[in-house]
Amino acid sequence: MAEGFDEHEHEHATQLADFLARHPNTLVLTGAGMSTASGIPGYRDREGVRRGNLPTQGPEFRRSQAAQRRYWARSMVGWPVLAGARPNAGHRALAALEQGGHLRALLTQNVDGLHTQAGSRAVIELHGNIHLTVCLDCGERSSRASVQEQLVAANPHFANIVATPLPDGDAQLEPEALADFRLPACPHCGGTLMPDVVFFGDNVPAARTAAAVAMMDAADALLVVGSSLVVFSGFRFCRLAHAAGKPIAAVNLGYTRADPLLTLKIEKQAEHLLPGVAHLLNQTGGDTPLQHFAQGETQ
C-alpha cells in the first residue's frame, strides 16, 4: 500500500487508477475545488450553492466606470492571496500523470494558472488567466502584478485594508465611497484595463471553445476534478462525452450537475486522492488493470 494511504483511500485511488489505465486518452476538466488546498476559496458549497459576492458581469464592467472601480478595489485587496498561491499536491499529481502518459490533456475552468506552474503542458484555460490584463482600447496585454503596483501607488488609502478573500483574487468588500478610487490604465495607450478572463455574462472565445471540443472529441473518457459543473462552459463537456458514449469519472466533494451521467464518482479532495493515483499508475506503467492493488500489493 502506498505510504501515508489508509485502506479506504487506497481503494478509491485504485478505482480511479483502474479507470485511467483502461482509458489512457482521458481528458481532465478541473474547477475551483482543485485549488482550495492552495488557499484560493471555492465558489460553491457541497450542494452547489454559490457563496460570497455576486460576480462581476462582463457587460456591466465594460460600460460602467462604477463597476470598474468596484471590481478593481476588491481585486486590489484580494490579489495578494491569489498572487501568493502555489500548486498543491493535486496539481502536481495531474502533471505527473500527464508526463507518465496516463492523461491526454487538461481543460480548466480556473484562472489561477496553477496547472501550468505545476508542470502540466497540454492545458486550455477555458476562462482565461487572472495573471494577465487586457486593454479594451488597444488590445495589449500586461501582467496583473504590474497593475497591482499601479493600483497601490494610486490608491494608498486602500493598501492596508484587510478583507475575507474570495475566488479569483476577489475580496469580501463593498466600499461605501469609490468616487475617488483611481482606476489602472493601460501602460501602452492609457486605455481601460480588465483582467484577461471570461467574466460572468460573457462567452468563452469561439476559437478556445473549438480547441477544447476537439480535445474532447479525441479523448476516450472524461475526468472531472473539483467542479460542481453548475456553469455550462464546463458541463457541456460532460454532455458531449455522454452523447458519444464515453465514460465520465468525477472527483468532487458534494453535488455535481453531471451526477446522473457519471460512471464513477469519488467524494474526496483532489490533493489527497490524486497523488495515490499517480503513484499507482507511474509505478506500473498503467498498461494493465490494477485489481491486484486492491489486495495491497504495492511496494
Q: Are 169 and 130 in contact (CB under 8 A)?
A: yes
Q: Report the pLDDT value the prediction gives residue 280, as an integer from 0 to 100.
A: 95
Q: Are 201 and 58 in contact (CB under 8 A)?
A: yes
Q: Residue 170 in 3-state DSSP?
A: coil
Walk along the chain (299 residues) and give the pLDDT tens digit of each residue. 444 556 667 899 999 999 999 999 999 999 999 999 999 975 544 544 445 566 789 999 999 999 999 899 889 988 988 999 999 999 999 999 999 999 999 999 999 999 999 999 999 999 999 999 999 999 999 999 999 999 999 999 887 776 655 555 555 566 566 778 899 999 999 999 999 999 988 999 999 999 999 999 999 999 999 999 998 989 999 999 999 999 999 999 999 999 999 999 999 999 999 999 999 998 765 544 444 333 333 32
Q: Which of 175, 228, 193 is nearest to 53 (CA)?
A: 175
Q: What are phi and psi of 28, to 5 degrees?
A: -105, 140
Distances (CA, A) of 28 to 3, 107, 223, 248: 26, 6, 5, 10
Q: Report the pLDDT value the prediction gives residue 161, as an integer from 0 to 100.
A: 73
Q: Residue 16 carries which side chain, given as an amino acid letter?
A: L
Domains of the chain by residue range: 18-284
Homologous superfamily in CATH for domain 18-284: TPP-binding domain (3.40.50.1220)
Classify strands 193-197 and 221-225 as parallel, antiparallel or unpaired: unpaired
The torsion angle over the Cα atoms of residues 235, 90, 167 and 52, rounded to 10 degrees, is 80
**Counting beta carbons within 10 angstroms of the beta carbon of residue 252, is it exposed (0 to 12), middle (13 to 18) or buried (19 or more)?**
buried
Q: Report the pLDDT value the prediction gives residue 121, as an integer from 0 to 100.
A: 97
Q: Are 46 and 267 in contact (CB under 8 A)?
A: no
Q: Report the pLDDT value the prediction gives residue 47, as an integer from 0 to 100.
A: 46
Is 238 flagged in the annotation as binding?
no
Alpha-carbon gap, residue 180 to 100, rounded angstroms:
53
Which residues are bridge partners to 128 per DSSP?
197
Which DSSP symbol is given to 93? H
**Residue whose C-alpha cell reads 453535488 in the numeric block:** 255
Alpha-carbon gap, residue 193 to 223, rounded angstroms:
35
Which DSSP symbol is given to 44? B
Distances (CA, A) of 236 to 32, 222, 241: 17, 12, 9
Is 189 flagged in the annotation as binding?
yes
Cβ partners under 8 Å of residue 61, min gap 6: 67, 68, 71, 194, 199
Q: List the catalytic residue out of 23, 115, 127, 131.
A: 127
Which cell numbers hold the place of 269? 479532495
CA atoms within 13 A on the CB side of 76: 28
Active site includes 127?
yes
Kindly report the pTM of this predicted structure.
0.87
Alpha-carbon gap, residue 20 to 96, rounded angstroms:
13
